Amino acid sequence: MEASPEWLALMIGNSHLHWAYFEQNILIKTWQTNHDSITNFPENIPLYLASVVPKQTKFFLEYPALKLIQLTDIPLKNLYPTLGIDRALAVLGSGENYGFPSLVIDGGTALTFTGVNQNQELIGGAILPGLGLQFQSLSVKTAALPRLNLPQSLPNRWAINTEDAIASGIIYTLLSGITSFIEDWLKQFPNSKIIFTGGDGERLLSYLNEIYPDIANDCKFDPNLIFWGMRSLKNR
């Protein structure tokens, strides 16, 4: 693909299309659209695309300046074939921007942990339902429990109404799990960077800071890790 001063990055996620517009290596803006939305842009602008939703990918395959990113393009070691391209790009972007070793905690539709050591080898990770999905599942799968919005700050741990009880149960349990993963990772890699990303990443880090400030102080939020990973690939 010929070099171009401007290019687009697109990450097709489970819930949205995540876009970025670059001029050379400078990120100018980001935005997101729904899966069924129509986005028009000049066909001569290179489009770097990664996807975790194959049925959405097919809508872009005829684009003339397409660079479809595959897991085999990621210059990290020990990647397993079913590793999500979003996780691989995010931890690559974290390492390229902040250094290795690196642990990425992605608060998206799924909450994922992905760790890479100083030799850029995948150590491993974990996947569980994300914050929003956990709130949604209780209202969908039960007859009497309500659908709630995520609270801006931590609820009382010992709740005296149903809404706060749901929020307490989900959030405090999730934060305990996140803390356990971080502490175990830092035992192995005490100098590691820990980066939160994803749609709920900033809120999770804010919650964490309220009850575990010492741990939160070792962490950073960056919503653009996947795009930094794409930029790294483009520059190789």
Q: Which active-site residues does the annotation give? A: 86
Query: Quick check: helix, strand or coil at residue 174?
Result: helix
Is 18 within 8 Å of 27 (Cβ atoms)? no
Rounded to whole angstroms, the Cα distance separating 143 from 139 reads 7
Residue 35 DSSP one-character state = T
What does the block give as tokens for 59? 């809508």
Rounded to whole angstroms, the Cα distance separating 93 from 133 reads 25
Q: Which helix (H) or strand (E) holds 132?
A: helix 131-141
- The shares of helix, strand and coil residues in the chain, as percent rounded to the nearest 5, are 35, 25, 35
Rounded to whole angstroms, the Cα distance separating 26 from 23 reads 5
What does the block give as tokens for 193? 């960077």
Rounded to whole angstroms, the Cα distance separating 55 from 41 reads 21
Is 67 within 8 Å of 85 (Cβ atoms)? no
